[in-house]
Structure 1
Amino acid sequence: MMKRASVAAILLLATGCGYRTKFDLPPHIQTFSVNTFRNKTLERNLDFEFTEALIHEILAKTSLRVARPGEADLEIDGEIEGFQRYLLRAKRYGEKFEIRNLLSVNVEMRDCRHNVPFFHGSRIVERTEFSLNLGETPREARDELVRELARRVVSLAFERWPARVAEGKPSGG
């Protein structure tokens, strides 16, 4: 009984403070498709990894289901514009110590049912920093960066759609 009361209290507090686990979307948008993002960088497989992370994030944060291209209510397309790695701090003798990664994408989302833009995001950027001394690897840092950028894109695209609909325009980032 105590567990039920605790769970109920947590749910009440979470819903009362505006926290949402899923975004509410227009009722006519129930499916989506994501074309593999074009990779304009020299980083191998970044296009596949970002596309997969974006699909995973949309499934986690919305009630949308995946559909085939041409059959979806919402179609998503884009390109990975840039990936940069910067040395922030180095130890003596030029040994790498702390590094910053930057990843940027351009995203287009189209409402296929009404044939109108749903979201346009130009140069959406995310960054992560990692330290080689703490045992972090460049690969782990890149994976985290891809996941964080997918979260950012989903948040930018879906969190304000009711306001965009009321204004009669798509959103931009």
Structure 2
Amino acid sequence: MTTESPPSAIHDGLTEAEDARGTSTAPQAAAAGRVLRAIAVPLDSDATAPMRARRAARGTLKSWGLGVVADDMVVIVSELVTNAVQHGTGPIVIVLRQCDDTLLVKVADASPHLPEFRSPTAEDQTGRGLSLVQALSDDWGCRTRGGHRGKWVWSSRALDPDHPGPCAGGG
């Protein structure tokens, strides 16, 4: 398996300074929280990307001792990466970040077009991904990146459901 390095337009988005230049469809938390650990995984945008993203997310979360939330977070990663493959452009980057008691996943692609939340009918065969993300997240949203260089779609989840952490809001 080969994975191309993402162009700088995507890779630059891994910095907090780049995040601050974006706009979000969801409220941002005042504090970003203390980052305990983080990983960025570049992926080619192809039919195997969701599978590779699930493997990377599950392996990372288990190695961090966060297996208790791995199943739900793997579904979130899978849905966000599938959306990036189907509706985005260019390479994809997944970021997993643990901030204090919160886990944040962000998925970037090179398309500036933000995802649209849909309410599919029982007959629709697609369109349920963001509903799953919403159901499994404490908070989620999307933001464009400066200069028409793509977008981030993110989800956060408290590791302790009774105490949402400061990373909520995609910080």
Per the normalisation by structure 1, the TM-score is 0.32
Query: If each structure's strand is expressed as a fraction of its own residues, which one has the higher value?
Result: 1
Higher relative CO (Cα under 8 Å, sequence separation at least 6) belongs to 2
Q: Which has the larger radius of gyration?
A: 1
TM-score by length of 2: 0.33
